[in-house]
Amino acid sequence: MKAWLFLFFWKIGIDMSLPGNHDGSWLTTWKSIAAYCDVSIDTVRRWEKLYGFPVFRLPSKRGFGHKTIAAIPSEINTWLREFSKEMHGKKRKPAKKA
């Protein structure tokens, strides 16, 4: 992991040394997050917008207006389990026949 990313999370209070927190690997692009979830980039972005998918938007070295995306695999796993339970618990409406 990049040193500045580690320092940022340390500064905001995420203790990266806790063994139960995560294994220290971070997903730092939309492409890698989508590949980890085995879905498209658009799907991951939609999940973030509509359902609170756990990604962090961090200040970037590129300047004002740019953000670096980061996600922790263990948080994604927890979110996916809960999201799956929630989606399977909802009753689907039958499709209307034309």
Query: What number is the average pLDDT over the span 2-19?
Result: 51
**Least confident span in 26-35, 56-65, 80-89:** 56-65
Helix (H), strand (E), coil (C) string for the chain: CCHHHHHHHHHHCCCCCCCCCCCCCCECCHHHHHHHHCCCHHHHHHHHHHHCCCCEEEECCCCCCCEEEEECHHHHHHHHHHHHHHHHHCCCCCCCCC
Q: How confident is the model at residue 95 (pLDDT cuts 50, 70, 90)?
A: low
Global pTM reads: 0.65
Q: What is the pLDDT of residue 36?
A: 92
56 bridge partner residues: 70
All structural domains of the chain with their residue ranges: 28-89
Rounded to whole angstroms, the Cα distance separating 94 from 96 reads 6
Spell out the CATH class of 28-89. Answer: mainly alpha
What per-residue confidence (pLDDT) applies to 3? 52
